Chains A and B, each alone.
Chain A
Amino acid sequence: MNSQSSLMFQIQPSSGTPIYRQIIDQVSRLVISGFLKPGDELPSVRQAAGELEVNPMTISKAYSMLEAGGVLERMRGKGMIVASGQDSSKDIRKRLEIIRPILEEAVTQAGQLALPKESIMELLSELLEEKNE
């Protein structure tokens, strides 16, 4: 497979979220959703820094943390690839992790609004059914 264009990431430098975190989130998401598969190459630091117009150290930092987290592997002469064993397209739990932060936020807010559990579950079911219709 050809190496991906770095346009697979979109960054917003003036967001409160540091750029390296934006990249980590997006790569993780692409891997967990199965869009990037084990062995797929990531853009080089050079390419990504040049195209996104950001400090190369920011890209290196994101890649190193993704490597430490087991999402990426460093391939000699090839740069970064998606780690083997990262084929999570069939793993529901891993995909659930993507929406965990949004649900946690919803749970926090529901707590602050003193909403009963049954009402929240009811709303969630309703929303899911609407989507499936």
Chain B
Amino acid sequence: MSETVISINKLSKKFGDKIVLKSVDIEIPRGTITGLIGKNGAGKTTLIKCLLGFLKPSSGTSSMLFENSWELSNDVRHRIGYVPQDPVSMKWLKIRSMLDYTGAFYSNWNMKFIDSLLGEWDLDPDAKISTLSEGEKQKLAIIMALGHDPEVLILDEPVASLDPASRRYFIKRLIEMNLDQNKTMLFSTHIMSDLERIAADIVLLKEGEIAYKGNLSDLKDNIRRIHFQSTSDLPEMIPMNNVISSYVNKTTATFTVNGFEEEEIQQIGRDLSAFVTIEQLNLEEIFLELNK
């Protein structure tokens, strides 16, 4: 296993009496892509802000590239790229001036790479930021976060305002950066189909706590929705294991399970004289189930 470049240990965060994060533990190895998911208000952005040292945790710690998030050196800051959820820009500037201004902080600002992204995304360097659409502002924020060729990318809903073609292009570039430069990425989004492509690992936050963390393929391998359909009323208690959610209504019963033995389920079906169907779920459906 590669070295851990993002490490979060028992991190909790309160705003006044409101607990936003509860003892979150996450370790992210170099070169991996992790998807951070959760409903609005689950704590994703707060977690990212603690990680970047913009917010101080109430307890616990986090580190990036072996430095405590709250005391990141300039050297480490320059090796991190961050796309914020709501990019704040100096609206009176032109795109080119904004990029020059940002680039002045870095010794390794890659104008060639930036120009290729500007071209692909049809951004006119002479356009004023105040005239840009939400999607165009998001593109500019992405370009600004990537221009200094960071080893670690923290992306907080970077694609929410992008059209599908621009999103796919962005995903493709992220995969190339992961392949060619072994960049590490933590990516929060509500667009599950993007994560299904790009992320190998998933962290699901639910009301400030980790509801699932692990490999996305393992999750899909283990979760099934099982339907029983009978001609007579089914008992209220059906002996199912590893149940995430269940719904029994007269002659039909539906269970979502995390971990299953097909033969056991068929046997339960025979015992109940019920017709059994076993369904695989995609990430969006799994997300909804785990948030129930």
A and B associate: yes
One of B32, B168, B172, B284 near A14 (C-beta < 8 A): B284
Q: Does B216 contact A (CB under 8 A)?
A: yes
Contact with A along B146-181 (1 / 0, CB 8 A): 000000000000000000000010011001101100
Are B220's CB and A55's CB within 8 A? no
Task: List, in ascending order, chain A residues with CB within 8 A of B192's CB.
Answer: 14
One of A20, A53, A61, A112 near B168 (C-beta < 8 A): A53
Measured in the bound complex, the distance between the Cα atoms of B287 and A20 in whole Å is 20
| A20-62 interface with B by 8 A CB criterion | 20-21, 45-46, 49-50, 53-58, 61
Are B176's CB and A50's CB within 8 A? yes
Task: List, in ascending order, chain A residues with CB within 8 A of B279's CB.
Answer: 16
Q: Known: A17-B220, A21-B217, A112-B269. Is A53-B197 also a contact (CB below 8 A)?
A: yes
Are B282's CB and A54's CB within 8 A? no
Measured in the bound complex, the distance between the Cα atoms of B200 and A112 in whole Å is 38
Task: List, in ascending order, chain B residues with CB within 8 A of A56's CB.
Answer: 175, 178-179
Number of interface residues of B (CB under 8 A): 31
Are A57's CB and B200's CB within 8 A? yes
Q: Known: A20-B217, A108-B266, A112-B275. Is A50-B197 also a contact (CB below 8 A)?
A: no
Task: List, in ascending order, chain A residues with CB within 8 A of B193's CB.
Answer: 13-14
Measured in the bound complex, the distance between the Cα atoms of B175 and A80 in whole Å is 21
Q: Does A18 contact B (CB under 8 A)?
A: yes
Task: List, in ascending order, chain B residues with CB within 8 A of A20's CB.
Answer: 217
CB distance from A76 to the nearest CB of B (A): 21
Contact with A along B195-206 (1 / 0, CB 8 A): 011111000000
Task: List, in ascending order, chain B residues with CB within 8 A of A71's CB.
Answer: none
Name the CB-closest residue of B to A62.
Answer: B217
Name the CB-closest residue of B to A45.
Answer: B179
Are A54's CB and B275's CB within 8 A? no
Task: List, in ascending order, chain B residues with CB within 8 A of A13's CB.
Answer: 193, 196-197
Q: Does A19 contact B (CB under 8 A)?
A: yes
Q: Does A15 contact B (CB under 8 A)?
A: yes
One of A16, A50, A58, A113 near B172 (C-beta < 8 A): A50
Task: List, in ascending order, chain A residues with CB within 8 A of B176's CB.
Answer: 50
Task: List, in ascending order, chain B residues with CB within 8 A of A16's CB.
Answer: 220, 279-282, 285
Are A50's CB and B175's CB within 8 A? yes
Are B284's CB and A55's CB within 8 A? no
Q: Does B67 contact A (CB under 8 A)?
A: no
Task: List, in ascending order, chain A residues with CB within 8 A of B285's CB.
Answer: 16
Are B283's CB and A14's CB within 8 A? yes
Number of interface residues of A (CB under 8 A): 23
Are A18's CB and B266's CB within 8 A? no
Q: Known: A16-B280, A16-B282, A18-B220. Is A54-B197 also a contact (CB below 8 A)?
A: yes
| B108-148 interface with A by 8 A CB criterion | none
Task: List, in ascending order, chain A residues with CB within 8 A of B197's CB.
Answer: 13, 19, 53-55
CB distance from A57 to the nearest CB of B (A): 4
Are B266's CB and A57's CB within 8 A? no
Task: List, in ascending order, chain B residues with CB within 8 A of A57's CB.
Answer: 32, 200
Measured in the bound complex, the distance between the Cα atoms of B12 and A47 in whole Å is 42
Task: List, in ascending order, chain B residues with CB within 8 A of A53's CB.
Answer: 168, 171-172, 175, 197-198
Are A54's CB and B198's CB within 8 A? yes
Q: Does B50 contact A (CB under 8 A)?
A: no
Name the CB-closest residue of A to B285.
Answer: A16
CB distance from B245 to the nearest CB of A (A): 16
CB distance from B11 to the nearest CB of A (A): 26
B residues near A (Cβ < 8 Å) are 32-33, 168, 171-172, 175-176, 178-179, 192-193, 196-200, 216-217, 220-221, 266, 269, 275-276, 279-285
15 intermolecular pairs with C-beta atoms under 8 Å apart: A13-B193, A13-B196, A13-B197, A16-B279, A16-B281, A18-B220, A19-B217, A49-B179, A53-B168, A55-B178, A56-B175, A57-B32, A57-B200, A112-B269, A113-B275
A residues near B (Cβ < 8 Å) are 13-21, 45-46, 49-50, 53-58, 61, 108, 112-113
